[in-house]
Amino acid sequence: MTHLLIIGGSDAGISAALRARELDQNVDVTIVVADSFPNFSICGIPFYLSGEVPDWRHLAHRTAEEITQTGVKLLLNHTATIIDPAQKRVKVVNTQGQEQWLTYDQLVIGTGAVSIKPRIQGLDLPGVFLLHSMDDSFAVHQYLTNHIPQSAVIVGGGYIGLEMADALTHRGIAVTVVEHSPTVMKTVDPTLGKLIAEELKRHSIEVANGIEIKTIEQVGTQLKVSGSDSFHKTTDMVLVAVGVNPLTNLAESAGLKTGIRGAIQVNRKMETNVPDIYAAGDCIETWHRLLSEYVYLPLGTTAHKQGRIAGENAVGGNQEFAGTLGTQVVKIFDLAVARTGLRDSEAQNAGFKPLTIEFETWDHKVYYPGAKKLRILVTGDSHTGRLLGAQIAGHYQGEVAKRIDIFATALFHSMKVDELSELDLSYTPPLSSPWDPVQMSAQAWVKHWTKSYS
Amino acid sequence: MTHLLIIGGSDAGISAALRARELDQNVDVTIVVADSFPNFSICGIPFYLSGEVPDWRHLAHRTAEEITQTGVKLLLNHTATIIDPAQKRVKVVNTQGQEQWLTYDQLVIGTGAVSIKPRIQGLDLPGVFLLHSMDDSFAVHQYLTNHIPQSAVIVGGGYIGLEMADALTHRGIAVTVVEHSPTVMKTVDPTLGKLIAEELKRHSIEVANGIEIKTIEQVGTQLKVSGSDSFHKTTDMVLVAVGVNPLTNLAESAGLKTGIRGAIQVNRKMETNVPDIYAAGDCIETWHRLLSEYVYLPLGTTAHKQGRIAGENAVGGNQEFAGTLGTQVVKIFDLAVARTGLRDSEAQNAGFKPLTIEFETWDHKVYYPGAKKLRILVTGDSHTGRLLGAQIAGHYQGEVAKRIDIFATALFHSMKVDELSELDLSYTPPLSSPWDPVQMSAQAWVKHWTKSYS
């Protein structure tokens, strides 16, 4: 019997385990999980803290029982401390300090990522939180319940910071978002970042851009947050969400090659440089389909795909990861903001000659009630006419998320922008237009391109 | 100066005109329009009659002024009566009976379709309506306003019949839908047809299936509708919506070849068999991308695409129509029902060996409030694993329409069902799952296929 050992009980690890068992009922699969929360939806934490998900147990994609029913063994509250590739074994320790060695035929590493701790004085003060694990979120939840804070400063205007701004506002807390970039959500173009800032302000959130936070100090029962440009804010709690780094010390000490930001290097089969060791998810470098190179781009969707491939290959499969396009969407209050592929600046850096246009239209025929505006950015290569990326912002009921997916599917197939008009997309007046907004924006790009480059 | 003449002022004709002028500012473009309503959204008529669009003028995709501002000439209230290809001219007559000949260098025919008049006695009685043109809809509107009917029978449970059932219910009219097939909306599988029937019944609409209507008689101020299986219903008005046929008598008499159901035959450049005459929209046979053959499948989206290609080629372009996949969506009350590609029965008829699975899931993570159920049917070829089609039914806010478009874009690129898992689709808990429902259903198909065929 083959022994498949998996380190990490989040998206990548669980996907690998389930896929392996699905394909081979004879493989023995064990997952080493550092806490008691296997297969939890980390992306759901903000909605638990907002109160919209009353019971944290509901954040589980699957319960522990559902996982073990597939034949997968869960070793909860165990942390892997040593990988010994020579003897194909892994040392684990439980919360009581008891150690044991587990042997493997195939090993999948899915240790994920950890929150970046920025250089801010006072990060360890009570009332100051990082947010990544379920334990983090219990700590925040307890603080919210026991202290009933009236105000909060969120350091970091990325998608987790903004989801938390929404979540805390939902609880009636006065929120200030501090972001060091000139606009929030710097993963999209500033023009959309400004739309997001407007949505935040519409919900009474203060937004401070271009500010670097330096210190957090205890002042009575409150916290004083100070930063560049004489920024000062006294608040009841502070959340720091400035991104994550891959968690790879274990892998590194076992001789696994790492690269960008310390992420584990894998090939498209999710194999590391060490035989019989695979890695997947937020701890690895990810193949980018458009850039044709490895990047560090941790996303839950990607972790699921990579874990599934690692699990399949670990039981004799031969799958290759098709690559990420960085497709993502976030909902902030009523606004959905989505992107796929490359933005203009990213495309330039990659050596393309991008042209980006901005286009505004309605999600459906405006004569039918309830039409929502969509702001669409299309980026294409001015040399070849090839689609390079798209960004959409609009009301979340305007099918923003699945419209970016039409772009993502087009990108997957290396379509030219002009070819998007050939797609046979669905239409009824309450839900679209005879040319879907995706196609209207593509046509606007082509018109601009033809004018500018012919 | 080139003279481009276009017969028909609906989707195909207008698209051809606008595209020609966009590409060539020197071409002289004239559109012959049979009524005073160029570029009206015929698909919007139900929403005008429901009262949701209070002013019929808003149904115009563009106003006549907006069209003429592009340099396109509109000859309203003129009907083309003769095409003379030898002398490259068209005879038109206006509503006063005045005739004239118009010459052309290139001609585009976009005469569209007409409602099928089924063999039912009493179709000409007052209170009985067909519904296709703006004039039809004014007649219905006037009847609704003047007679304030309390009840209506709709003959035909296709998408126009069902949209009108929704529309008249919105006005407080008690509606009965009569459909000769065993389920309504026979363009989707019966399992989804039953969901639609449930939605209709939830809104107090009576649904009579398997009934062939034979006669409509005047009984006092009411109408008695009778059919097979002793069906009888006394009602205040009757709407007949049993489909359309291509309107091609003009084209036929000019020597244009016609085929399926009398539709004009074209190649993928939208050229007819007669030099310098193009045709597009509901009056032609349409190239089906999956079947690799011509079909009659009139849709507004297709008419726009074909018109655009005809217009481009008429001014010297060389575009080919990429083909239809029959992608469509309809919203009935809160339910959106969509399809793309081939259903199981259609795939069988086309010589594939289809396998179809039915899958149910939520539009987004169920822990986040407001999750809606989606019912998804995936059809793939059991020989090759290739995706052949998909159908989705669910709450219209569950991004049903744009999810079918992900399938449509995958179909456009001849993807295998298994490959859908490789697509990098967007995710956030309020809007999807780490594997989008599209991918979950594809994985369910693959699982079933692997079990059944290995």
Contact B412 A422 (CB under 8 A): yes
Neighbours of A96 (CB within 10 A): 6
Distance CA A381, CA A291 (A): 13
The chain-wide mean pLDDT, for chain B, equals: 97
CB pair distance less than 8 Å for B424 and A300: no
Residue A8 has pLDDT above 80, yes or no: yes
User: Which residues of chain A have a CB within 8 Å of the CB of B426?
Assistant: 301, 327-329, 338, 340, 401-402, 404-405, 408
Kindly list the structural domains of chain B, giving each domain's residue range(s) and its CATH number in brackets, ordered by start.
3-38+56-113+244-314 (3.50.50.60), 128-240 (3.50.50.60), 328-453 (3.50.50.60)
Question: Could A396 and B430 be called an inter-chain contact, meaning their C-beta atoms sit closer than 8 Å?
Answer: yes
Task: Check residues A275 and A451 and name the one with the higher pLDDT.
Answer: A275
Give A186's pLDDT tier (boundaries 50, 70, 90): very high
User: B299 contacts in A (CB within 8 Å)?
Assistant: 427
Is A156 a residue whose pLDDT tops 80? yes
Angle, nearest 10°, between helix axes B11-23 and B300-314?
40
Q: How many CB atoms lie within 10 A of CB B2?
A: 15
State whether A331 and B430 contact (CB < 8 Å): yes
User: What residues of B are in contact with residue A287 (Cβ under 8 Å)?
Assistant: none
Q: What is the pLDDT of residues A419-437, one digit of tens each?
A: 999 999 999 999 999 999 9
Contact A399 B402 (CB under 8 A): yes
On chain A, the residues whose CB falls within 8 A of the CB of B47 are 367-368, 429-430
> Could you tell me whether strands A328-332 and A335-341 are parallel, antiparallel, or unpaired per DSSP bridges?
antiparallel
| CB-CB neighbors (< 8 A) of B43 in chain A | 427-429
Residue pair B177/B200 in contact (Cβ under 8 Å)? The answer is yes
Q: Helices (DSSP H) in A176-291: which residue ranges?
A: 190-202, 249-253
- The enclosing H or E element of B444 equals helix B437-453
Tokens of A344: 């203009």
A297 pLDDT exceeds 70? yes
Q: Which residues contact A209 (CB under 8 A, 6 or more apart)?
A: A157, A179, A181, A182, A183, A184, A197
- A434 and B403: CB-CB below 8 Å? no
Which residue, chain included where needed, has tokens 């309503």?
A: B37
Query: How large is the C-alpha radius of gyration of chain B?
Result: 23
User: What band does B157 get if pLDDT is binned at 50, 70 and 90?
Assistant: very high
- Position A133 confidence tier, pLDDT thresholds 50, 70, 90: confident
Is B336 in Cβ contact with A367 (below 8 Å)?
A: no
Confidence at B1, pLDDT banded by 50, 70, 90: confident
User: Which one of A43, A53, A402 has the shortest CB-CB distance to B399?
Assistant: A402
Taking the C-alpha atoms of residue A413 and residue A358, their distance in angstroms, rounded to an integer, is 23
- Can you tell me the distance from the alpha carbon of B192 to that of B394, in angstroms, rounded to the nearest whole number? 10
- What is the Cα–Cα distance from B242 to B68, expressed in whole angstroms? 35
- Taking the model in full, what pTM does it have? 0.97
Confidence category of residue B395, pLDDT binned at 50, 70, 90: very high
For B7-58, write each residue's pLDDT tens digit: 999 999 999 999 999 999 999 999 999 999 999 998 999 999 999 999 999 9
* Residue A442 CA neighbour count, 13 Å, CB half: 25
d(CA A3, CA A105): 5
What is the H or E stretch that residue B226 is in?
A: strand B222-227
The 10 Å Cβ neighbour count of residue B359 is 18
**Residue B210 is which amino acid?**
G
Q: Is the pLDDT of residue B454 over 80?
A: no
**pLDDT (tens digit per residue) in A193-244:** 999 999 999 999 999 999 999 999 999 999 999 999 999 999 999 999 999 9
* pLDDT-above-90 percentage for chain B: 97
Beta bridge partners of A28: A3
Say what the pLDDT of residue B228 is.
Answer: 97
H helical segments located in A386-453:
400-412, 437-453
The yes/no answer to whether this complex scores an ipTM above 0.95 is yes
Alpha-carbon dihedral angle through residues B42, B48, B50, B53, given to the nearest 10 degrees: 130
Report chain A residues whose CB lies below 8 A from the CB of B429.
Answer: 41, 43-44, 47
Q: Give the closest-approach CA distance of A411 to chain B in angstroms.
A: 10
Instruction: State the best of A427, A447, A454 to mutate against chain B, taking most chain B CBs within 10 Å.
Output: A427
Is B44 in contact with A432 (Cβ distance < 8 A)? no
Structure tokens at B67: 């069209």
Which residues in chain B are contacts of A365 at CB distance < 8 A? 41, 44
Q: How far apart are CA B21 and CA B73, in angstroms?
A: 11
pLDDT of B197 strictly over 90: yes
Say yes or no for a CB contact (<8 Å) between B308 and A421.
yes
The Cα–Cα gap between A369 and A376 comes to 21
Q: Which of B404, B383, B446 is nearest to A319 (CA)?
A: B446
Q: Which residues pair with A205 in a beta bridge?
A: none
Paired tokens of B225? 């509708």
Instruction: Enumerate the β-bridge partners of residue B28.
Output: B3
Interchain proximity A367–B403, CB inside 8 Å: no
Percentage of residues in chain B having pLDDT higher than 70: 100
Q: How far is B71 from chain A (nearest CA, A)?
A: 18
State the amino acid at position B96 in one-letter form.
Q
Q: Indicate which of A330, A337, A367, A432 best probes the interface with B, i.e. most B CBs within 10 Å of its own CB.
A: A367
Predicted confidence band of residue A452 (pLDDT cuts 50, 70, 90): confident
pLDDT score for A114: 95
Residues of chain B found within 8 Å of residue A44, distances taken between Cβ atoms: 365, 367-368, 429
What is the b/e burial string over B76-107, where b = at least 16 CB atoms within 10 angstroms of the residue's CB?
bbbbbeebebeebbbebeeeeeeeeebebebb
- CB burial of residue A194 (10 Å; 0-12, 13-18, 19+): middle
Name the nearest CA neighbour of A49 among A117, A187, A149: A149
Q: How far is A212 from chain B (nearest CA, A)?
A: 28
Q: Where are the alpha helices (DSSP H) in A315-399?
A: 344-349
A185 contact residues in B (CB cutoff 8 A): none
Rg of chain A (C-alpha set): 23
Record: contact B431-A329, CB cut-off 8 A: yes
d(CA A222, CA A127): 9
Q: What is the pLDDT of residue A134?
A: 87
Of A186, A188, A185, A387, whose CA–CA distance to A289 is shortest? A387
Q: Alpha-carbon distance A195 to A394, whole Å?
A: 9
Rounded to the nearest angstrom, the gap between the alpha carbon of residue A434 and the centroid of all alpha carbons in its chain is: 33
Q: Which residues of chain B are within 8 Å of residue A59 when distances are taken between CB atoms?
A: 367
Residues 6+ apart with CB under 8 A from B93: B78, B79, B81, B99
How far is the alpha carbon of B39 from chain A, nearest alpha carbon, in Å?
12
> DSSP character for A284?
B
Count of pairs with CB atoms under 8 A, one residue in A, one in B = 208
List beta partners, residue A151.
A174
* Residue A453 pLDDT > 90: no
For residues A345-351, give the mean pLDDT. Answer: 97
User: What is the model's pLDDT at position B453?
Assistant: 79
Q: Looking at the predicted structure, is the pLDDT value of residue A316 above 90?
A: yes
Task: Please tell me whether residue B366 adopts helix, strand or coil conformation.
Answer: coil
- Cβ neighbours around B156 below 10 Å, total: 25
Q: Are B67 and B74 in contact (CB under 8 A)?
A: yes
d(CA B10, CA B31): 10
DSSP 8-state secondary structure symbol assigned to residue A121 = B
Chain B hits for A414, CB-CB cut-off 8 Å, are none
Which of B47, B289, B425 is nearest residue A368 as measured by Cβ atoms? B47
**Cα–Cα distance measured from residue A328 to residue B148, given in angstroms and rounded to the nearest whole number:** 51
- Determine the average pLDDT of the residues in B111-122: 96
Is the pLDDT assigned to residue B386 strictly greater than 70? yes
Structure tokens at A122: 């006072």
In the numeric block, which tokens belong to residue B313? 């080629």
- Two tokens, residue A300: 């839950």
Over residues B248-277, the mean pLDDT reads: 98
Given the structure tokens 């939520």, which residue do they identify?
B362
Residues 6+ apart with CB under 8 A from B232: B224, B225, B226
pLDDT at A454 over 70: no
**Span of A439-443, B135-139, B269-273 with lowest mean pLDDT:** B135-139
- Residues of B within 8 A of A429 (CB-CB) are 41, 43-44, 47
Which of A426, A432, A438, A447 best probes binding to B when mutated, by most B CB atoms within 10 angstroms?
A426
Handedness of CA A33, A36, A41, A46 (dihedral sign): negative
> Pick from B22, B52, B425: which is nearest to A405 by CB?
B425
Report the mean per-residue pLDDT for chain A.
97
User: Does B302 contact A340 at a Cβ distance shorter than 8 Å?
Assistant: no
